[in-house]
Amino acid sequence: MPGAQIVIISKDKDAAVNFHTYVYQILRSVRANDPNFPKLVKENERVTTNELGAKITSLAAGAETGRSFSATHLIFDEMAFAQYADDIWQAASPTLSRTNGRATVISTPKGRANLFAQIFEKTDHMGFTTFNYGWWDVPDYNPYYEEMINAASAAERKQWIEKAKTGKWYRLNRPTKTDLAWRQEFEGAFDANQGSVFSTRQLEKVFERNYLTKVEDPKGIFDQWYTKEKEDNHIYVSATDLGRKNDATVQITYDITTRPAELVEFVRIEPGRSDWEMIGKAVKNRLIYWDSEAVHDGTGVGDTATETLYGLSEPFFFTKNLKQNIVERMQHAFDYRMVRIPKIEALYREHQRYIWEDKDIVQDTVMANAMAISLFHEIEDVFVGFDPNINYIDMESPVLT
Protein backbone atom coordinates (compact mmCIF):
# COMPACT_ATOMS: atom_id res chain seq x y z
CA MET A 1 0.00 0.00 0.00
CA PRO A 2 1.58 3.30 -1.02
CA GLY A 3 2.00 5.51 2.05
CA ALA A 4 1.11 2.75 4.53
CA GLN A 5 2.28 3.53 8.06
CA ILE A 6 2.73 0.30 10.02
CA VAL A 7 3.65 0.68 13.69
CA ILE A 8 4.86 -2.31 15.70
CA ILE A 9 4.90 -1.97 19.49
CA SER A 10 6.88 -4.47 21.57
CA LYS A 11 7.23 -4.83 25.34
CA ASP A 12 10.78 -3.32 25.44
CA LYS A 13 13.63 -2.07 23.23
CA ASP A 14 15.27 -5.47 22.73
CA ALA A 15 11.95 -7.03 21.75
CA ALA A 16 11.31 -4.18 19.27
CA VAL A 17 14.69 -4.70 17.60
CA ASN A 18 14.17 -8.48 17.54
CA PHE A 19 10.72 -8.12 15.97
CA HIS A 20 12.17 -5.93 13.24
CA THR A 21 14.61 -8.68 12.25
CA TYR A 22 11.56 -10.79 11.38
CA VAL A 23 10.30 -7.89 9.24
CA TYR A 24 13.56 -7.83 7.27
CA GLN A 25 13.61 -11.59 6.82
CA ILE A 26 10.10 -11.52 5.33
CA LEU A 27 10.65 -8.48 3.09
CA ARG A 28 13.96 -9.79 1.72
CA SER A 29 12.42 -13.20 1.11
CA VAL A 30 9.56 -11.66 -0.87
CA ARG A 31 11.99 -9.45 -2.81
CA ALA A 32 14.11 -12.51 -3.70
CA ASN A 33 11.05 -14.27 -5.14
CA ASP A 34 9.40 -11.24 -6.76
CA PRO A 35 11.72 -8.71 -8.47
CA ASN A 36 8.77 -6.30 -8.91
CA PHE A 37 8.32 -6.00 -5.13
CA PRO A 38 9.02 -2.39 -4.01
CA LYS A 39 12.66 -1.69 -3.17
CA LEU A 40 13.68 -0.82 0.37
CA VAL A 41 15.19 2.69 0.53
CA LYS A 42 15.81 2.91 4.27
CA GLU A 43 16.86 0.16 6.63
CA ASN A 44 17.94 0.35 10.24
CA GLU A 45 17.22 -1.73 13.30
CA ARG A 46 13.79 -0.19 13.92
CA VAL A 47 12.63 1.63 10.75
CA THR A 48 12.07 0.35 7.22
CA THR A 49 10.83 2.48 4.28
CA ASN A 50 10.19 1.41 0.70
CA GLU A 51 10.13 3.34 -2.59
CA LEU A 52 6.34 3.78 -2.37
CA GLY A 53 6.67 5.77 0.86
CA ALA A 54 5.35 2.96 3.05
CA LYS A 55 7.04 2.74 6.43
CA ILE A 56 7.34 0.10 9.16
CA THR A 57 8.42 1.40 12.57
CA SER A 58 9.18 -0.75 15.63
CA LEU A 59 8.78 0.92 19.03
CA ALA A 60 9.31 -0.06 22.64
CA ALA A 61 6.23 0.16 24.88
CA GLY A 62 6.00 3.34 26.95
CA ALA A 63 3.24 5.50 28.42
CA GLU A 64 3.13 7.79 25.35
CA THR A 65 4.08 5.23 22.68
CA GLY A 66 1.93 5.48 19.57
CA ARG A 67 0.50 8.93 20.33
CA SER A 68 2.49 10.83 17.66
CA PHE A 69 2.09 8.24 14.88
CA SER A 70 -0.72 8.21 12.34
CA ALA A 71 -0.80 4.46 11.81
CA THR A 72 -2.72 2.59 9.14
CA HIS A 73 -1.93 -0.67 10.90
CA LEU A 74 -0.88 -1.12 14.53
CA ILE A 75 0.75 -4.38 15.61
CA PHE A 76 1.04 -4.82 19.38
CA ASP A 77 3.37 -7.67 20.32
CA GLU A 78 3.14 -9.35 23.75
CA MET A 79 0.47 -6.93 24.94
CA ALA A 80 -0.15 -8.87 28.16
CA PHE A 81 3.44 -8.18 29.25
CA ALA A 82 3.57 -4.47 28.31
CA GLN A 83 3.54 -2.21 31.36
CA TYR A 84 1.62 0.62 29.70
CA ALA A 85 -0.75 -1.39 27.49
CA ASP A 86 -3.88 0.57 28.52
CA ASP A 87 -2.18 3.95 27.99
CA ILE A 88 -0.76 2.87 24.62
CA TRP A 89 -4.11 1.62 23.38
CA GLN A 90 -5.84 4.80 24.53
CA ALA A 91 -3.23 6.89 22.69
CA ALA A 92 -3.13 4.80 19.51
CA SER A 93 -6.85 4.14 19.01
CA PRO A 94 -7.69 7.68 17.75
CA THR A 95 -4.97 7.46 15.04
CA LEU A 96 -6.50 4.23 13.76
CA SER A 97 -9.91 5.92 13.66
CA ARG A 98 -8.50 8.80 11.58
CA THR A 99 -6.82 6.48 9.06
CA ASN A 100 -9.58 3.84 9.09
CA GLY A 101 -6.76 1.51 10.08
CA ARG A 102 -6.66 -1.81 11.87
CA ALA A 103 -4.86 -3.41 14.79
CA THR A 104 -3.34 -6.82 15.35
CA VAL A 105 -2.58 -7.85 18.92
CA ILE A 106 -0.37 -10.84 19.71
CA SER A 107 0.53 -12.21 23.14
CA THR A 108 1.08 -15.13 25.40
CA PRO A 109 -1.52 -14.79 28.19
CA LYS A 110 -0.40 -13.48 31.57
CA GLY A 111 -3.36 -13.88 33.88
CA ARG A 112 -6.54 -11.84 33.51
CA ALA A 113 -5.61 -8.50 35.09
CA ASN A 114 -4.59 -6.83 31.83
CA LEU A 115 -6.03 -5.36 28.64
CA PHE A 116 -5.17 -8.40 26.51
CA ALA A 117 -7.32 -10.69 28.68
CA GLN A 118 -10.14 -8.13 28.72
CA ILE A 119 -10.29 -8.20 24.90
CA PHE A 120 -11.03 -11.94 25.04
CA GLU A 121 -13.48 -11.63 27.93
CA LYS A 122 -15.69 -8.80 26.67
CA THR A 123 -18.82 -9.82 24.81
CA ASP A 124 -17.86 -7.97 21.60
CA HIS A 125 -14.10 -8.55 22.08
CA MET A 126 -13.68 -4.74 21.75
CA GLY A 127 -14.13 -5.09 17.98
CA PHE A 128 -11.39 -7.69 17.54
CA THR A 129 -11.69 -11.12 15.97
CA THR A 130 -10.00 -13.49 18.43
CA PHE A 131 -7.90 -16.59 17.83
CA ASN A 132 -6.49 -19.04 20.38
CA TYR A 133 -3.52 -21.24 19.58
CA GLY A 134 -2.01 -24.09 21.58
CA TRP A 135 0.99 -26.30 20.93
CA TRP A 136 -1.31 -28.73 19.09
CA ASP A 137 -1.91 -26.09 16.39
CA VAL A 138 1.74 -26.25 15.34
CA PRO A 139 2.41 -29.00 12.76
CA ASP A 140 6.03 -29.35 13.92
CA TYR A 141 4.79 -30.17 17.43
CA ASN A 142 1.72 -32.25 16.60
CA PRO A 143 2.35 -35.43 14.54
CA TYR A 144 -1.43 -35.79 14.12
CA TYR A 145 -2.04 -32.23 12.98
CA GLU A 146 -3.86 -33.16 9.73
CA GLU A 147 -6.11 -35.64 11.51
CA MET A 148 -6.91 -33.05 14.21
CA ILE A 149 -7.95 -30.24 11.84
CA ASN A 150 -10.06 -32.66 9.81
CA ALA A 151 -11.85 -33.99 12.91
CA ALA A 152 -15.63 -34.13 12.53
CA SER A 153 -16.39 -33.09 16.11
CA ALA A 154 -14.86 -31.40 19.15
CA ALA A 155 -14.69 -34.77 20.90
CA GLU A 156 -12.75 -36.31 18.01
CA ARG A 157 -10.43 -33.29 17.89
CA LYS A 158 -9.73 -33.74 21.60
CA GLN A 159 -8.88 -37.41 21.02
CA TRP A 160 -6.27 -36.47 18.41
CA ILE A 161 -4.75 -33.89 20.78
CA GLU A 162 -4.47 -36.56 23.47
CA LYS A 163 -2.82 -38.87 20.97
CA ALA A 164 -0.38 -36.11 20.00
CA LYS A 165 0.91 -36.22 23.59
CA THR A 166 2.54 -39.54 22.70
CA GLY A 167 4.62 -37.75 20.03
CA LYS A 168 8.34 -37.10 20.34
CA TRP A 169 8.17 -33.31 20.70
CA TYR A 170 5.65 -33.45 23.57
CA ARG A 171 7.49 -36.22 25.41
CA LEU A 172 10.78 -34.30 25.19
CA ASN A 173 9.49 -30.86 26.15
CA ARG A 174 6.61 -31.39 28.59
CA PRO A 175 8.83 -32.64 31.48
CA THR A 176 10.99 -29.50 31.23
CA LYS A 177 8.16 -27.16 32.31
CA THR A 178 5.99 -26.81 35.39
CA ASP A 179 2.24 -27.26 34.92
CA LEU A 180 1.73 -23.50 35.34
CA ALA A 181 4.42 -22.56 32.82
CA TRP A 182 3.25 -25.16 30.32
CA ARG A 183 -0.38 -24.07 30.40
CA GLN A 184 0.56 -20.42 30.01
CA GLU A 185 3.29 -20.70 27.39
CA PHE A 186 2.06 -23.63 25.30
CA GLU A 187 -1.70 -23.84 25.86
CA GLY A 188 -2.61 -20.16 26.09
CA ALA A 189 -4.37 -20.48 29.46
CA PHE A 190 -5.35 -17.11 30.93
CA ASP A 191 -5.67 -18.44 34.49
CA ALA A 192 -2.20 -20.03 34.53
CA ASN A 193 -0.42 -16.88 35.73
CA GLN A 194 1.52 -17.50 38.94
CA GLY A 195 0.15 -14.31 40.45
CA SER A 196 -3.50 -15.26 39.90
CA VAL A 197 -5.36 -15.93 43.15
CA PHE A 198 -8.41 -17.82 41.91
CA SER A 199 -8.26 -20.57 39.32
CA THR A 200 -11.07 -21.18 36.85
CA ARG A 201 -11.84 -24.41 38.68
CA GLN A 202 -12.23 -22.59 42.01
CA LEU A 203 -14.59 -20.01 40.52
CA GLU A 204 -16.68 -22.62 38.74
CA LYS A 205 -17.31 -24.33 42.09
CA VAL A 206 -19.11 -21.33 43.61
CA PHE A 207 -20.30 -19.00 40.84
CA GLU A 208 -23.54 -20.00 39.15
CA ARG A 209 -26.14 -18.45 36.91
CA ASN A 210 -27.39 -15.21 38.45
CA TYR A 211 -30.34 -16.09 40.68
CA LEU A 212 -30.86 -12.55 42.03
CA THR A 213 -33.28 -9.93 40.74
CA LYS A 214 -31.92 -6.69 39.30
CA VAL A 215 -33.48 -3.59 40.87
CA GLU A 216 -33.45 -0.05 39.49
CA ASP A 217 -32.53 2.44 42.21
CA PRO A 218 -35.08 5.30 42.09
CA LYS A 219 -32.67 7.56 44.01
CA GLY A 220 -29.95 7.02 41.41
CA ILE A 221 -27.27 6.12 43.94
CA PHE A 222 -26.67 2.45 43.11
CA ASP A 223 -25.51 1.87 39.55
CA GLN A 224 -25.86 -1.89 40.17
CA TRP A 225 -28.34 -3.52 42.55
CA TYR A 226 -29.08 -7.24 42.64
CA THR A 227 -31.08 -8.67 45.53
CA LYS A 228 -33.72 -11.12 46.78
CA GLU A 229 -36.38 -11.01 49.50
CA LYS A 230 -35.39 -11.26 53.14
CA GLU A 231 -36.62 -14.40 54.91
CA ASP A 232 -37.87 -14.60 58.50
CA ASN A 233 -35.59 -16.22 61.08
CA HIS A 234 -32.60 -16.18 58.74
CA ILE A 235 -29.19 -14.87 59.78
CA TYR A 236 -27.35 -12.40 57.52
CA VAL A 237 -23.88 -10.85 57.38
CA SER A 238 -22.77 -7.89 55.31
CA ALA A 239 -19.52 -6.22 54.28
CA THR A 240 -18.89 -2.89 52.60
CA ASP A 241 -15.82 -1.72 50.73
CA LEU A 242 -16.10 2.07 50.80
CA GLY A 243 -14.96 4.40 48.04
CA ARG A 244 -15.99 7.72 46.55
CA LYS A 245 -13.81 9.59 44.04
CA ASN A 246 -11.61 6.89 42.55
CA ASP A 247 -12.99 3.61 43.88
CA ALA A 248 -16.47 2.14 43.85
CA THR A 249 -18.42 1.41 47.02
CA VAL A 250 -19.47 -2.25 47.06
CA GLN A 251 -21.77 -3.90 49.60
CA ILE A 252 -22.29 -7.66 49.77
CA THR A 253 -24.72 -9.58 51.99
CA TYR A 254 -24.82 -13.34 52.67
CA ASP A 255 -27.54 -15.54 54.14
CA ILE A 256 -25.56 -17.86 56.45
CA THR A 257 -28.53 -19.85 57.75
CA THR A 258 -27.77 -22.82 55.51
CA ARG A 259 -24.67 -24.30 53.87
CA PRO A 260 -23.45 -23.27 51.48
CA ALA A 261 -23.93 -19.67 52.55
CA GLU A 262 -25.78 -17.76 49.84
CA LEU A 263 -24.93 -14.29 48.55
CA VAL A 264 -28.30 -12.51 48.59
CA GLU A 265 -27.46 -8.91 47.73
CA PHE A 266 -24.87 -7.06 45.68
CA VAL A 267 -24.91 -3.28 45.41
CA ARG A 268 -22.34 -1.03 43.78
CA ILE A 269 -21.96 2.75 43.72
CA GLU A 270 -19.92 4.10 40.81
CA PRO A 271 -16.92 6.30 41.78
CA GLY A 272 -17.87 9.99 41.82
CA ARG A 273 -21.60 9.23 41.74
CA SER A 274 -22.43 10.45 45.26
CA ASP A 275 -20.97 12.27 48.24
CA TRP A 276 -20.08 10.57 51.55
CA GLU A 277 -23.35 11.54 53.17
CA MET A 278 -25.45 9.89 50.44
CA ILE A 279 -23.20 6.82 50.31
CA GLY A 280 -23.39 6.44 54.09
CA LYS A 281 -27.19 6.65 54.12
CA ALA A 282 -27.54 4.16 51.27
CA VAL A 283 -25.24 1.65 52.95
CA LYS A 284 -26.92 2.19 56.32
CA ASN A 285 -30.41 1.57 54.89
CA ARG A 286 -29.37 -1.79 53.45
CA LEU A 287 -27.80 -2.86 56.76
CA ILE A 288 -30.99 -1.96 58.63
CA TYR A 289 -33.07 -3.89 56.08
CA TRP A 290 -31.02 -7.09 56.47
CA ASP A 291 -30.47 -6.63 60.21
CA SER A 292 -27.06 -8.18 59.64
CA GLU A 293 -23.78 -8.44 61.46
CA ALA A 294 -21.54 -6.19 59.40
CA VAL A 295 -18.06 -4.83 58.78
CA HIS A 296 -16.80 -2.07 56.52
CA ASP A 297 -13.43 -0.96 55.23
CA GLY A 298 -12.24 1.55 57.81
CA THR A 299 -8.82 2.09 56.20
CA GLY A 300 -8.33 5.65 54.97
CA VAL A 301 -12.01 6.65 54.78
CA GLY A 302 -11.95 8.98 57.77
CA ASP A 303 -14.28 9.18 60.74
CA THR A 304 -17.36 10.38 58.84
CA ALA A 305 -18.28 7.02 57.32
CA THR A 306 -17.57 5.12 60.53
CA GLU A 307 -19.71 7.56 62.54
CA THR A 308 -22.56 7.17 60.04
CA LEU A 309 -22.43 3.39 60.40
CA TYR A 310 -21.88 3.40 64.17
CA GLY A 311 -23.84 0.62 65.86
CA LEU A 312 -24.57 -1.13 62.55
CA SER A 313 -21.12 -2.00 61.21
CA GLU A 314 -17.64 -2.42 62.66
CA PRO A 315 -14.59 -0.92 60.89
CA PHE A 316 -12.11 -3.39 59.38
CA PHE A 317 -8.58 -1.99 59.15
CA PHE A 318 -6.53 -3.60 56.41
CA THR A 319 -2.92 -4.57 56.94
CA LYS A 320 -0.92 -6.65 54.48
CA ASN A 321 -1.18 -9.77 56.64
CA LEU A 322 -4.89 -9.35 57.43
CA LYS A 323 -5.68 -8.78 53.77
CA GLN A 324 -3.84 -11.93 52.73
CA ASN A 325 -5.51 -13.83 55.55
CA ILE A 326 -9.07 -13.02 54.49
CA VAL A 327 -8.33 -13.65 50.80
CA GLU A 328 -6.82 -17.06 51.67
CA ARG A 329 -9.91 -17.77 53.78
CA MET A 330 -12.06 -16.96 50.75
CA GLN A 331 -9.94 -19.32 48.62
CA HIS A 332 -10.61 -22.05 51.16
CA ALA A 333 -14.36 -21.32 51.12
CA PHE A 334 -14.33 -21.63 47.32
CA ASP A 335 -12.36 -24.89 47.40
CA TYR A 336 -14.90 -26.51 49.72
CA ARG A 337 -17.99 -24.93 48.11
CA MET A 338 -18.91 -23.17 51.33
CA VAL A 339 -20.53 -20.27 49.44
CA ARG A 340 -22.96 -19.84 46.55
CA ILE A 341 -22.48 -16.72 44.41
CA PRO A 342 -24.52 -15.31 41.49
CA LYS A 343 -22.53 -14.74 38.30
CA ILE A 344 -22.89 -10.97 38.13
CA GLU A 345 -20.33 -9.77 35.58
CA ALA A 346 -18.61 -7.12 37.73
CA LEU A 347 -18.42 -9.53 40.67
CA TYR A 348 -17.18 -12.49 38.62
CA ARG A 349 -14.65 -10.58 36.49
CA GLU A 350 -12.92 -8.94 39.44
CA HIS A 351 -12.40 -12.31 41.12
CA GLN A 352 -11.25 -13.77 37.83
CA ARG A 353 -8.62 -11.04 37.36
CA TYR A 354 -7.51 -10.67 40.96
CA ILE A 355 -3.78 -11.12 41.59
CA TRP A 356 -1.69 -10.92 44.77
CA GLU A 357 0.13 -7.80 43.53
CA ASP A 358 -3.17 -5.90 43.44
CA LYS A 359 -1.99 -2.30 43.79
CA ASP A 360 -2.89 -1.35 40.21
CA ILE A 361 -6.08 -3.36 39.67
CA VAL A 362 -9.76 -2.87 40.56
CA GLN A 363 -10.46 -4.97 43.66
CA ASP A 364 -13.53 -3.44 45.35
CA THR A 365 -15.84 -6.46 44.98
CA VAL A 366 -13.09 -8.89 45.96
CA MET A 367 -12.39 -7.05 49.20
CA ALA A 368 -16.09 -6.71 50.05
CA ASN A 369 -16.59 -10.41 49.41
CA ALA A 370 -13.51 -11.40 51.41
CA MET A 371 -14.62 -9.31 54.41
CA ALA A 372 -18.12 -10.80 54.28
CA ILE A 373 -16.87 -14.39 54.08
CA SER A 374 -14.42 -13.76 56.93
CA LEU A 375 -17.41 -13.06 59.19
CA PHE A 376 -18.71 -16.62 59.00
CA HIS A 377 -16.15 -18.95 57.43
CA GLU A 378 -13.46 -20.35 59.69
CA ILE A 379 -10.91 -22.67 58.13
CA GLU A 380 -10.71 -24.68 61.35
CA ASP A 381 -14.41 -25.56 61.07
CA VAL A 382 -13.85 -27.84 58.09
CA PHE A 383 -12.66 -31.43 58.58
CA VAL A 384 -10.93 -32.86 55.55
CA GLY A 385 -10.27 -36.22 57.21
CA PHE A 386 -10.59 -37.98 60.53
CA ASP A 387 -7.80 -39.64 62.46
CA PRO A 388 -9.12 -42.17 65.05
CA ASN A 389 -5.87 -41.80 67.00
CA ILE A 390 -6.60 -38.15 67.84
CA ASN A 391 -8.91 -37.18 70.71
CA TYR A 392 -10.63 -34.16 69.15
CA ILE A 393 -12.79 -33.56 72.25
CA ASP A 394 -9.76 -32.53 74.25
CA MET A 395 -8.74 -29.94 71.68
CA GLU A 396 -9.69 -26.29 72.00
CA SER A 397 -10.53 -26.13 68.30
CA PRO A 398 -10.67 -28.59 65.41
CA VAL A 399 -7.67 -28.86 63.12
CA LEU A 400 -7.16 -29.90 59.52
CA THR A 401 -5.76 -33.39 59.00
Please give the distance of CA 314 from its chain centroid, rounded to a whole number.
Answer: 30
pLDDT classification of 303: cutoffs 50, 70, 90? low
What distance in Å separates the CA atoms of residue 169 and residue 141, rounded to the nearest whole number? 6
Q: Is 127 exposed, middle or buried (0-12, 13-18, 19+ CB in 10 A)?
A: exposed
What distance in Å separates the CA atoms of residue 391 and residue 395, rounded to the nearest whole number? 7
**pLDDT higher than 70, residue 388:** no
Residue 174 Cα distances to 109, 141, 353, angstroms = 18, 11, 27
- Is 138 or 202 the better-scoring residue by pLDDT? 138
Number of helical H runs and strand E runs in the chain: 13, 15
Radius of gyration of the chain (CA): 27
Dihedral sign (CA 13, 18, 21, 23): negative
Range among 71-75, 233-237, 352-356 with highest mean pLDDT value: 233-237
Per-domain boundaries in the chain: 5-127, 135-194, 203-381
**pLDDT higher than 50, residue 64:** yes
List, for residues 307-317, the tens digit of each pLDDT value.
778 889 998 88
274 phi-psi bin (left φ>0, alpha ψ -120 to 50, beta other): beta
**pLDDT higher than 70, residue 386:** no
User: What is the pLDDT, as a whole number, of residue 292?
Assistant: 94
Close Cβ partners of 394 (under 8 Å, ≥ 6 residues apart): none
Determine which of 62-66, 292-296, 326-330, 359-363 has the lowest per-residue pLDDT on average: 62-66
Q: What average pLDDT does the segment 160-183 reach? A: 89
The side-by-side arrangement of strands in the sheet containing 73-77 is 40-43, 47-50, 55-60, 5-10, 73-77, 102-106
Determine which of 117-126, 297-306, 320-329 has the lowest per-residue pLDDT on average: 297-306
What is the fold, at CATH topology level, of the domain defined by 203-381?
Nucleotidyltransferase; domain 5 (3.30.420)
Right CATH number for 5-127 from 3.40.1390.10, 3.40.50.300, 3.40.50.1780, 3.30.830.10?
3.40.50.300
The model carries a pTM of 0.59
What distance in Å separates the CA atoms of residue 348 and residue 193, rounded to the nearest whole number? 18
